[in-house]
Structure 1
Amino acid sequence: MSEVPLILEPEQLAPLLEHEEIRVVDLSSPANYFAGHIPGAIGLPFQALLAGTPPAPGKLPSLERLTEVMRAIGLTPDTHIVACDDEGGGWAGRLLWTLEVIGHKKYSYLNGGMIAWKNAGLPLSTEDTTVAASDIEIAIADDAPMIEAEQIQQRLGHNDLQVWDARSPTEYTGERLVAMRGGHIPGAINCEWTQLMDPQRDLRIRTDAREFLEALGIDGKTEIATHCQSHHRSAFTWLVGKSLGFPIKAYPGSWSEWGNLPNTPIEQ
């Protein structure tokens, strides 16, 4: 299982389903999950991965709650999680980022998620999968790919941190207001998350992602902090950055926190 790639194609996953170490976790909507999912896949509501409390609902839930979630999906130190969803990778990326935050590094993303799996004509099941709960103990890893508002503020203007804003251009400019204040973190580069998906290839990560990002000034030579409104869209951009070998972290407070703080610097 140590050779399973981070970005996994449907045809690569299919023969791995018989291995007990492989656990597919599907973060599609419940309706789509029950309409047909990968045989043996567990359905996980994305809300389980979020604190859900204003003003920054995208922050991590409590360690106690996270422990409950990881035990419920049967996570053990030997489990290799394969995450998928039905929307291009945001919620799947959020699960994989959460695993990285707790130091669990055995995971993969099903490229294109359930859209790619179904369009490949691979088997589907409508049975609700249940697994035996584990007794895993978790903690936030020392090298968790996570950054907070105060840390970003301290590094602004020092040229040692790039901010990748995964929101829409109208959110970036402040034209669309979804917090007390609109705009963006000073110096942030705007690349909306969907720009990294290829609609011609079932929303797989675009094959020229590295070149596309380099053209925008995101080349992985500087540490990157990515965010959106609630660290859903930016969970996918974190995943793309990681797949390219970039030194990338996520700011889970995202704009719902930054834009609602009274004294954070903002550009428009």
Structure 2
Amino acid sequence: MKNVVPIKWVLARMYESDIVIVDCRFQLGKPDAGREAYTESHIPGAVYLDLEKDLSAPVELDGHGGRHPLPDAAVLADRLSKVGISNETRVVAYDDQGGAMASRLWWLMKYLGHEQVYVMDGGFTAWKNAGCPVSAEQKVLIPARFLATVQHNMLVEVDEVRESLGTGRFVLVDSREAPRYRGEAEPIDRVAGHIPGARNFFWAEGRGPDGTWKSAAEQAARFEGLARSQDDEIVVYCGSGVTACPNVLALGEAGFSRVKLYAGSWSDWISYAGNPIAVGEEEEPKDV
């Protein structure tokens, strides 16, 4: 089963007893906008999970961990339980931000050992435009029991990234827009640039002109030449560990089997004074 499912797939299964649909809409800089949009209209039966209140831990005062630190596994498992998600539940996530926020939940569920989680293609606007039902009624939540089995191999920490520089251990992928990667502009974080050696693949380029996710073949073509083998270890980061997640998903669709997330990402990297910073483009590695 693929990780991205079409609207028709969701429409056909939305009332099945083992399905929980999660609205993940969120706008950076407008922290209440997603919840307000959900309250106004959502897929019938959907529950809401907030990027900053549910899918992230509080920001550390020293800046370590980045702008959206990973939530504690036990805390997140308890939150999932309270909205009716068990280990047997099929979870469908959607947003209206190109799949970025839904992919964060997708990655977190995988990280907690849950395989049956999917991102709905197109998002909420596409759902409405297709004439599918919407509702303002909020589901009565019946708690379930979710037990986490944390997959530590999906994650790398700052010291691992630092120690890997220049060794070829990881293939680094920066998921931000090119001007931020090159250090020409930085509207969010206090320092511009990228981790030395990282290649730039803007996360939104994983979608086609119509806003839907590219096929597995198109994703493979997008990442052609990134690594010598699909078994190479790839570490993906962005600004705060959110928009890296759609690239993690896309790399998996493209056939790469060892893809990890640097969750703290750029905002964590620059919180350590000694970490090196690069600007401009990186030369593509040459085959030896």
Same structural fold, with TM-score higher than 0.5 when normalized by the shorter chain: yes
Partner of 2:95: 85
Aligned residue identity for 1:6: N
* Higher mean C-alpha deviation, range 95-104 or range 130-139: 130-139
Q: 1:163 aligns with which of 156, 169, 172?
A: 172
SS in 1 for 2:22: strand
Code of the residue aligned with 2:173 in structure 1: it is W
Identify the range of structure 1 (68-77 vs 250-259) with the bigger mean alpha-carbon deviation. Answer: 68-77
**Could you tell me whether the CA contact under 8 Å between 1:116 and 1:204 is conserved in 2?**
no
Structure 1 pair 36/180, CA: closer, same or farther in 2 (3 Å)? closer
Pairing of 1:39-78 with structure 2 (within 5 A)? 39-47=44-52, 48-54=54-60, 55=63, 56-78=66-88
The yes-or-no answer on 1:250 pairing with 2:261 is: yes
SS at 2:125 equivalent:
helix
Corresponding residue for 1:206? Answer: 214
Question: Equivalences for 1:99-138 in 2 at 5 Å?
Answer: 99-138=109-148
Residue 139 of structure 1 and its aligned partner are, at CA, apart by 4.4
Equivalent residues in 2 for 1:142-221 (5 A)? 142-143=152-153, 145-177=154-186, 178-200=188-210, 203-207=211-215, 208-214=218-224, 220-221=230-231
- 1:32 is matched with 37
How many angstroms does 1:219 deviate by?
7.1
- Deviation of 1:62 after TM superposition, in Å, equals 2.3
- Which stretch shows the higher mean deviation, 209-218 or 52-61? 209-218
| Percent identical residues | 29
Query: After the TM superposition, which of the residue ranges 111-120 and 84-93 deviates more from structure 2?
Result: 111-120
Q: Tell which deviates more after alignment, 170-179 or 15-24.
A: 170-179
Q: Secondary structure of 1:204's partner?
A: coil
How far apart are residue 92 of structure 1 and its match?
Answer: 0.4
The residue type equivalent to 1:206 in the other structure is K
Q: Select the residue among 20, 23, 39 that pairs with 2:20.
A: 23
Give, in angstroms, the shift of residue 119 of structure 1. 2.0
1:7 corresponds to: 4
Which secondary structure does the structure 2 equivalent of 1:237 belong to?
helix
Taking the aligned partners of 1:221 and 1:116, their CA distance within structure 2 comes to 35
Which SS does the other structure have where 2:224 is aligned? helix
Q: How far, CA to CA, are the matches of 1:218 and 1:73 in structure 2?
A: 43
Structure 1 residue 221 displacement after superposition: 4.5
Which of 101, 108, 111 is matched with 1:98 structurally?
Answer: 108
Query: What code does the residue aligned with 1:188 have?
Result: A
TM-score by length of 1: 0.90
Give, in angstroms, the shift of residue 216 of structure 1. 6.0
Q: Distance in 1 between matches of 2:41 and 2:189?
A: 37
- Give the total of aligned pairs: 262
- The TM-score with structure 2 as length reference comes to 0.84
CA RMSD of aligned residues (A): 2.0
For the Cα contact (< 8 Å) 1:210–1:219, is it kept in 2? no
> How far does the alpha carbon of each residue in 1:85-130 deviate from its partner, in whole angstroms, 9 at most, with x for none?
0111111000011111111111111011212212221111221123
CA distance in 2, matches of 1:231, 1:218: 25
1:53 is aligned with what amino acid?
V
Relative to structure 2, which stretch is displaced further, 58-67 or 134-143?
134-143
Distance verdict in 2 for CA 1:219–1:82, change over 3 Å: farther
Gapped regions of structure 2 (runs ≥ 5): 26-33, 280-288
In structure 2, do the counterparts of structure 1 residues 230 and 130 end up closer, same or farther at CA, with 3 Å as the change threshold? Answer: farther
